[in-house]
Amino acid sequence: MARVESFELDHNIVQAPYVRVAGVERDPKGSIIQKIDMRFLQPNKAAFPTSAVHTLEHLLATYLRDHLEGVIDVSPMGCRTGFYCIKWNESSPEEIANALENTLRDVMETDIVPAVTAKECGNYRDHSLFAAKEYAKEVLEKGISRDPFERVFSE
Kindly state whether residue 6 falls inside one of the protein's structural domains.
no
- Would you give per-residue pLDDT tens digits along the chain (155 residues)? 988 888 999 999 999 999 999 999 999 999 999 999 999 999 999 999 999 999 999 999 999 999 999 999 999 999 999 999 999 999 999 999 999 999 999 999 999 999 999 999 999 999 999 999 999 999 999 999 999 999 999 86
Q: Based on the structure, what is the number of domains in the chain?
A: 1
Q: What local confidence, expressed as pLDDT, does residue 154 receive?
A: 84
Kindly state whether residue 53 falls inside one of the protein's structural domains.
yes
What are the C-alpha distances in Å from 150 to residues 10, 25, 35? 13, 26, 20
Kindly state whether residue 67 falls inside one of the protein's structural domains.
yes
Kindly state whether residue 46 falls inside one of the protein's structural domains.
yes
Kindly state whether residue 21 falls inside one of the protein's structural domains.
yes
pTM over 0.85: yes
Helix, coil or strand: residue 62: helix
What is the CATH number for 114? 3.30.1360.80
Q: What local confidence, expressed as pLDDT, does residue 33 receive?
A: 98
Residue pair 36/85 in contact (Cβ under 8 Å)? The answer is: yes
In sequence order, what are the residues at sequence separation of 6 or more whose Cβ sits closer than 8 angstroms to the Cβ of residue 13? 149
Query: Range of 36's domain?
Result: 13-142
Kindly state whether residue 60 falls inside one of the protein's structural domains.
yes
What are the C-alpha distances in Å from 105 to residues 7, 16, 86, 102, 121? 31, 18, 21, 5, 24
Kindly state whether residue 114 falls inside one of the protein's structural domains.
yes
Kindly state whether residue 4 falls inside one of the protein's structural domains.
no
